[in-house]
Structure 1
Amino acid sequence: MSVIRSAGLRGFRATVAELGGNAEEYATAVGLPTAALDADDLLVPDHAVAAALELAAHRLDCPDLGLRISYRQDLDMLGPLALAIRNSPTLADALACSSRYMFVHARSLSLGLTADPYGDPGVVALRYDGPPDMPAPVQGTDLGLGFVHRAIQRLVGERYGLRSVELPYHPPAPLRAYEEFFGAPVRVGRSAAILRMPRGLADRPLSGGDQQLHRLAMAFLAEQTAETGTSITPRVRAALRQLLGTTPPEIAAVASILSTHPRTLQRRLAAEGATFAALLDDVRREEAHRYLTTTDIPMSQVASLLGFAEQATFTRSCRRWWGHTPTALRRAEQSTLRRAEQSTLRRAEQSTQRRAEQSRQRREA
């Protein structure tokens, strides 16, 4: 199973609603958690995202749905990668870090510069590839290529010299819709999804960037995505946090996210003195404490978000973790917060009274 951050669905709910549809209905029909429609950092199957886009386009009779959604997306959806892109010295640097770290956003997507398919020495091809094990989904590819096009416009200017757009399918939408969107000729039935740009564009400096921020962002990405010679335990914890509430937190699912075999993952964890069950329990405990002390989410929903099949199982876990039921823990925390708030208010009132008294004494003097 290949996954993508739910940020890739930004704009889906609003666009579907604008067209008179129900985004939650389409998500449920293809097995997507409805929470993914409003959150950025859930990990969801990329094939389900593609299926939701295709289903919505069909039900709403909107063949250019992917292009429409791309209007509502921006670089921020890429998280720390966006920081590295925005602060890159040149467009070539921005594209290089995108190519290197695109898998942080979606493991099955790739982006890279290649030679022009027509052999024009003054043109370079920016190729966008989706999952290698499935035909290019029309709406998903339209959305991804549209997002890349608009990101380049924001970085270097609306008219960046796009020569043509190559599509690996015959889209159901009229070609004029694509040509109006991209502002360039569109060719269909080609070998890959490509934006053909002037070769010199890649060397154009980007304005407003900060080299220090770029270095920090790149260092952070490198640290977070290192694949060899580093501990597997933090990566398992991170994967579990993103799976909870969307996919059963099983070792097979985590192994798939980390591109390894479940038995290999077990061996690596054992070498670090950890077990999958213990890590899952720790992550559940941490997330449970956060939900219980910072939100008013109903207990049944908290149990579901933690991947428990029943609320009773969640209650037993809370007794094991803290010696209290989840309700008792929430009440105790709320009581502590109320006391802290009352204390803060009293101090504020006393400070106000002191300032008023000092002001009165100055006037009398």
Structure 2
Amino acid sequence: MQTSWIRSAIAVPILGLPLEAAGTTHMPLSSFTQLMENERRHRPTADAWRSGEAMQLESLSQLGQAIGNSRNLGEALKTFAHGFPLLQSNTSVELSIMDHEAHVSYRVLDPHIWPRRADAELSLGLIRGICARFGISRDAVLGVSFEHEPDGATRDLVQHLGVAPAFGRDENRLRLAVSALSNRPVVARHDDYTASWRQLEQALRRQRSDTDLSARVYSHILQRIGHGPASQADTADALGISERSLRRGLAAQGSSFSEIMENCRRMQGYALLTRSDRPLSEIALLLGYSDQTAFSRAFARWYGVPPRELRRSGALEESVIR
């Protein structure tokens, strides 16, 4: 799995560093989240959320331009979710409709960077800031949930949000009434949305062409594990290629779909075992195993000990939060 990244032009200003400090176009996402966590640890407030709310669309390049030209909030949030891969790799952002509510979810897929606190608060704050551009008041937010557990920053965050977040959930999520999606921008648009969407699509195509096929497969499988089908056929369809092209392309890179699937299960399973208290049966189901026995056999083969012993040993893998 390739190193997860965030665009330096976004990360460096958030961290309060001069742009020259970036050095390269991309910054390792693990470095960014670690620096964010260190700052949050010393200042346990809602600063990360506020930074997200205050982020200027201009800093988001083509994506920010398309969001700014959106004709309503629904279009803006759909654009944000679609174009987010330009800002950060191995990340899932989705807009969905459930029971008359609009849900915007954010999830870093890389198991080495899970769970996170400051990064999640920053990202949901950015989504909230986009909503504000379409006249959504703070009290119009129906609910907020986080992957991380409550800690010393909870009180300040609750006071700022005006709603008590839910913690320890599967995804970081912001909920709105579906009716809010029709809201028009507070400030009139200056450019054509269709043209900015076209530019966004061109940028996404260029990025996809520069990304190894194996990296794209890793990202898709990690996004689907525990959330839907992640078969070879499903993956090929999602990437817009045939199963034969998928097999041949991965073979040319010295890999295979089954090998990548196994690596994803191993990484995600290790993270769930050592950094969560989920029952083993639930982890097995999330990873796509037919039963807990198959899951236990796989982990005993990989690590030399069964899952229960691995969990009891308290073994540590590199992670932002320990």
TM-score of the aligned structures, taking structure 2 as reference length:
0.58
Aligned ranges 1:230-249 → 2 under 5 Å: 232=209, 235=210
Cα RMSD after superposing both structures: 3.5
CA distance in 2, matches of 1:260, 1:115: 27
CA distance in 2, matches of 1:149, 1:204: 14
1:166 is matched with 145
- The one-letter amino acid of 2:96's match is T
Aligned ranges 1:120-159 → 2 under 5 Å: 121-133=99-111, 134-159=113-138
CA distance in 2, matches of 1:109, 1:122: 26
* Number of residues of Structure 1 aligned to a counterpart in Structure 2: 220
Of 12, 25, 30, which aligns to 1:42? 25
CA distance in 2, matches of 1:221, 1:50: 26
Of 70, 82, 105, which aligns to 2:52? 70
Aligned ranges 1:62-101 → 2 under 5 Å: 62=44, 64-70=46-52, 72-101=54-83
CA distance in 1, matches of 2:191, 2:53: 30
CA distance in 2, matches of 1:155, 1:166: 22
CA distance in 1, matches of 2:53, 2:131: 13
Name structure 2 gaps, 5 residues minimum.
Answer: 219-247, 254-322
| 2:3 maps to 1:9 | no
CA distance in 1, matches of 2:200, 2:215: 16
Of 75, 84, 87, which aligns to 1:102? 84
CA distance in 1, matches of 2:143, 2:165: 6
Contact 2:95 2:105 in 1 (8 A): yes
CA distance in 2, matches of 1:201, 1:96: 13
- The one-letter amino acid of 1:4's match is I
Please report how far the alpha carbon of residue 137 of structure 1 lies from its aligned counterpart in structure 2 after TM superposition: 0.9
2:204 is matched with 225
Of 176, 189, 196, which aligns to 2:155? 176
Distance 1:104 1:136, change over 3 A: same
CA distance in 2, matches of 1:143, 1:46: 14
CA distance in 2, matches of 1:140, 1:72: 15
2:291 is matched with none
Contact 1:86 1:209 in 2 (8 A): no
Please report how far the alpha carbon of residue 109 of structure 1 lies from its aligned counterpart in structure 2 after TM superposition: 2.6
Distance 1:183 1:74, change over 3 A: farther
CA distance in 1, matches of 2:49, 2:13: 11
2:94 is matched with 112
Distance 1:185 1:108, change over 3 A: same
Contact 1:10 1:73 in 2 (8 A): no
CA distance in 2, matches of 1:162, 1:216: 31
Contact 1:54 1:139 in 2 (8 A): yes
- The one-letter amino acid of 1:122's match is H
Of 156, 168, 185, which aligns to 2:164? 185
Distance 1:210 1:56, change over 3 A: closer
Bigger drift between 105-114 and 153-162 goes to 153-162
1:340 is matched with none
Contact 1:125 1:195 in 2 (8 A): yes
- The one-letter amino acid of 2:21's match is A
Distance 1:256 1:125, change over 3 A: same
SS in 1 for 2:141: coil
CA distance in 1, matches of 2:51, 2:77: 22
2:306 is matched with none
2:173 is matched with 194
- The one-letter amino acid of 1:106's match is Q
CA distance in 2, matches of 1:256, 1:201: 38
Higher RCO (C-alpha 8 Å, min separation 6): 2
- The one-letter amino acid of 2:151's match is P
- The one-letter amino acid of 1:7's match is A
CA distance in 1, matches of 2:212, 2:100: 44
Distance 1:68 1:96, change over 3 A: closer
Identity rate, percent: 18
SS in 2 for 1:185: coil
Contact 2:93 2:105 in 1 (8 A): yes
- The one-letter amino acid of 1:35's match is A
CA distance in 2, matches of 1:209, 1:8: 25
Please report how far the alpha carbon of residue 51 of structure 1 lies from its aligned counterpart in structure 2 after TM superposition: 1.0
1:248 is matched with none
